[in-house]
C-alpha cells in the first residue's frame, strides 16, 4: 500500500527537525516545540529514525485498513440503487428509503459523501443567515393552514397537472388532510373541511390564501371583502371559525415549505411505485406516505391542551357544510339553482308557494333541499328529481360554550314578553289587551220636544 503525499511530507518535516537537533543547531526542547509534540515523543521518533531511517518516520497505521471502513460491496449496492431506481431523490430522502426498504446500514453523512464523490448529486452551497421565523401557535388546533398545490404529481403521466389539497396544523406541523384532486374547487375544500371536522373537531382559526373559493377580492392584489362571503366563508362564519387571509407567499411560509417537501418526496415515491391514476395515488398517500411522514416531520406542541372543540354525535356535518343559496319561488312553484329546476309540491295549508323567499341547501352528496325556516319544502337529487322518504331535519349548530336562552314557561302573554325583554336586555313595549271590547256608538238621533 502506497503512502499518501501528505504522509510523506510529514515524514520529511520530522527528518529535517531531527537532523537540526542532532547537529546542535536546535535544542531538543525547541525541536519538540516546533513539531508540537512532547519531548518524550520526540525521543521515540529519534529512535525510530536512527533504526529505520526515513521509513521509520512514516505512520505504520496507514498500511492497515481501518476497522471502520465500509464494505466495498455495500457501497457499490447503495450506488447502484440510487443510479438505477432512486435517481432524483434528495440525499436525506434516499438515505431514509434505503434504510427502510433495502436494509442499508450506511450513515447519512457517508451516503451523502459517496454520492457526491460519484457525481450522482451536486455539492450544495451552505445556506446564508435567514430571518427569524414566526413562533408557532402553542396549542394543537389553534391555527390550521389550508392550501392547494398545482403540480405534475404523477411523473409517469407527463403533461397532466393535479392539485394537492393539504391541511397542516401550525403547532405540530401534522398533516391533518392530504388528497389529490383534478383541480382546486369549492367542493374539494369542503370535503377537506369535513374530514378535519369529523376527525378532530372545530379549530379556532383557518389560514388560507385569497383564492376565489376563499375570499371575494374586488381589486386584484387589494384587500378582501369581508361583507361579501363565499360559500366557504359562510360555512366558517356559521361554525364560528376565524378565517385569516394571507397577502403574500412569505406570510404562509409553513405551508409553502410543506408543498416543497411534498413535491420533492411524493412525486418520486409515486414514480418508483409506478402509479398512474389519482385513485391509486390517494391510496398510497393515505396508507404509506402519511404514516411514514409524521414520525419524521411532526413535533409536540408547546401546550399539551388541545384547542379543538369536539362535535357531538347529533351534529350533521353534511348539513353544516352545505352550500346555501337564497331564492324566490316562481309563479309555477319552481325554484332554479344553477340550471336545475326544483318543482315544489303543494304545502299543507297553502295553495301555492309563489313569492316565498326560501333557502336551497346543497350538501357534498350533490342533493338539493329547499327550506323555509325550519320547514323542509322539498328533497331532490342532483338532477332535480324529487326523492321519496322522510325529509331531513334542519341543521343543528354545534355547541361552542355560548350562553343559551333559558326555557320560558309564562302564565300569560305579558309575563312571556317581560321575560323575553329581560333576557335580551331591552325594555318591554308590550301593551296588555283590553278586558272588554269598546262599544261602537251609532249615529245620534235628534230629540224632539215631545220626548
Cell numbers for 403: 350562553
Q: What is the structure's pLDDT at 398? A: 60
Give the largest Cα separation in the chain, rounded.
173
Task: Compute the distance between CA of residue 61 and CA of residue 39 in angstroms, rounded to an integer.
Answer: 22
Q: Are 355 and 328 in contact (CB under 8 A)?
A: yes
Cell 398510497 identifies what position?
Answer: 284
139-306: CATH number? 3.30.420.10
Q: What is the structure's pLDDT at 7? A: 79
Map out the domains of the chain as residue ranges. 5-63, 72-117, 139-306, 317-380
Q: What is the structure's pLDDT at 1? A: 52
Q: What is the structure's pLDDT at 451? A: 43
Phi (first) and psi of residue 75, to 5 degrees: -65, -40
Q: Are 245 and 210 in contact (CB under 8 A)?
A: yes
Give the pLDDT confidence of 39-97 residue by residue, as tens digits.
999 999 899 888 888 888 887 666 665 667 788 899 999 999 999 999 999 999 999 99
CA torsion, points 195, 199, 202, 205, in degrees to nearest 10? Answer: -60
Task: Compute the distance between CA of residue 186 and CA of residue 322 in angstroms, rounded to an integer.
Answer: 11
Q: What is the structure's pLDDT at 423? A: 42
Low-confidence ranges of the chain (pLDDT < 70): 1-3, 60-67, 126-132, 348-351, 389-451
Q: Are 102 and 79 in contact (CB under 8 A)?
A: no
Task: Compute the distance between CA of residue 345 and CA of residue 353 in angstroms, rounded to an integer.
Answer: 9
Q: Are 207 and 186 in contact (CB under 8 A)?
A: no
Q: What is the structure's pLDDT at 273? A: 93
Q: What is the structure's pLDDT at 284? A: 95
Task: Compute the distance between CA of residue 184 and CA of residue 169 in angstroms, rounded to an integer.
Answer: 20
Task: Compute the distance between CA of residue 412 and CA of residue 441 in angstroms, rounded to an integer.
Answer: 31
Cell numbers for 287: 396508507
Q: What is the structure's pLDDT at 389? A: 63
Give the pLDDT confidence of 289-323 residue by residue, as tens digits.
999 999 999 999 999 999 999 887 777 888 888 88
Cell numbers for 368: 338539493
Q: What is the structure's pLDDT at 408? A: 38
Phi (first) and psi of residue 340, to 5 degrees: -105, 120
Residue 168's DSSP bridge partners are 145, 175
Q: Are 341 and 414 in contact (CB under 8 A)?
A: no
Q: Are 307 and 204 in contact (CB under 8 A)?
A: yes
Half-sphere exposure of 18 (CA within 13 A, CB side): 22
115 by DSSP, 3-state: which? Answer: helix
Q: What is the structure's pLDDT at 333? A: 85
Task: Compute the distance between CA of residue 293 and CA of residue 168 in angstroms, rounded to an integer.
Answer: 12
Strands (E), 384-447: none
Q: What is the structure's pLDDT at 313? A: 73
Q: What is the structure's pLDDT at 65? A: 59
Q: Tell me the C-alpha to C-alpha distance, in Å, between residue 97 and each of 81, 283, 351.
A: 11, 19, 70
181 by DSSP, 3-state: which? Answer: strand
Amino acid at each position: 500500500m502506497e503512502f499518501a503525499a501528505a504522509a510523506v511530507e510529514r515524514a520529511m518535516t520530522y527528518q529535517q527537525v531531527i537532523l537540526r537537533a542532532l547537529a546542535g543547531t536546535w535544542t531538543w526542547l525547541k525541536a519538540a516545540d516546533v513539531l508540537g509534540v512532547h519531548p518524550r515523543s520526540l525521543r521515540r521518533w529519534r529512535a525510530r529514525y536512527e533504526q529505520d531511517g526515513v521509513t521509520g518516520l512514516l505512520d505504520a497505521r496507514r498500511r492497515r485498513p481501518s476497522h471502520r471502513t465500509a464494505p466495498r460491496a455495500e457501497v457499490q449496492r447503495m450506488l447502484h440503487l440510487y443510479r438505477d431506481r432512486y435517481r432524483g431523490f434528495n440525499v436525506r430522502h434516499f438515505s431514509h428509503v434505503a434504510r427502510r426498504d433495502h436494509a442499508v446500514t450506511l450513515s447519512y453523512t457517508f451516503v451523502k459523501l459517496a454520492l457526491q464523490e460519484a457525481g450522482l448529486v451536486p455539492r450544495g452551497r451552505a445556506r446564508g443567515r435567514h430571518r427569524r421565523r414566526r413562533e408557532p401557535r402553542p396549542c394543537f388546533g389553534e391555527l390550521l393552514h389550508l392550501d392547494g398545490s398545482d403540480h405534475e404529481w404523477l411523473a409517469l403521466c407527463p403533461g397532466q397537472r393535479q392539485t394537492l389539497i393539504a391541511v397542516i396544523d401550525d403547532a405540530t406541523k401534522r398533516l391533518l388532510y392530504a388528497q389529490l384532486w383534478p383541480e382546486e374547487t369549492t367542493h374539494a375544500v369542503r370535503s377537506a373541511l369535513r374530514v378535519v371536522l369529523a376527525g378532530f373537531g372545530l379549530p379556532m382559526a383557518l389560514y388560507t390564501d385569497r383564492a376565489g373559493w376563499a375570499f371575494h377580492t374586488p381589486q386584484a392584489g387589494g384587500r378582501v371583502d369581508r361583507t361579501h362571503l363565499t360559500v366557504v366563508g359562510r360555512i366558517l362564519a356559521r361554525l364560528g371559525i376565524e378565517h385569516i387571509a394571507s397577502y403574500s407567499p412569505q406570510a404562509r411560509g409553513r405551508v409553502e415549505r410543506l408543498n416543497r417537501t411534498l413535491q420533492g418526496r411524493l412525486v418520486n415515491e409515486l414514480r418508483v411505485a409506478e402509479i398512474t391514476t389519482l385513485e391509486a395515488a390517494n391510496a398510497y398517500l393515505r396508507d404509506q406516505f402519511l404514516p411514514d411522514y409524521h414520525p419524521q416531520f411532526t413535533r409536540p406542541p408547546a401546550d399539551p391542551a388541545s384547542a379543538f372543540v369536539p362535535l357531538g354525535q347529533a351534529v350533521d356535518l353534511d348539513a353544516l357544510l352545505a352550500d346555501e343559496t337564497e331564492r324566490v319561488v316562481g309563479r309555477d312553484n319552481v325554484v332554479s339553482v344553477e340550471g336545475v329546476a326544483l318543482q315544489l309540491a303543494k304545502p299543507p295549508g297553502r295553495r301555492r308557494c309563489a313569492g316565498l323567499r326560501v333557502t336551497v341547501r346543497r350538501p357534498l352528496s350533490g342533493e338539493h333541499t329547499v327550506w323555509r325556516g325550519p320547514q323542509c319544502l322539498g328533497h331532490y337529487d342532483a338532477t332535480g328529481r324529487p326523492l321519496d322518504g322522510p325529509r331531513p331535519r334542519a341543521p343543528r349548530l354545534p355547541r361552542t360554550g355560548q350562553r343559551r336562552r333559558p326555557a320560558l314557561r309564562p302564565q300569560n302573554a305579558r309575563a312571556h314578553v317581560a321575560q323575553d325583554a329581560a333576557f335580551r336586555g331591552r325594555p318591554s313595549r308590550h301593551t296588555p289587551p283590553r278586558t272588554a271590547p269598546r262599544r261602537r256608538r251609532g249615529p245620534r238621533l235628534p230629540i224632539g220636544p215631545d220626548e
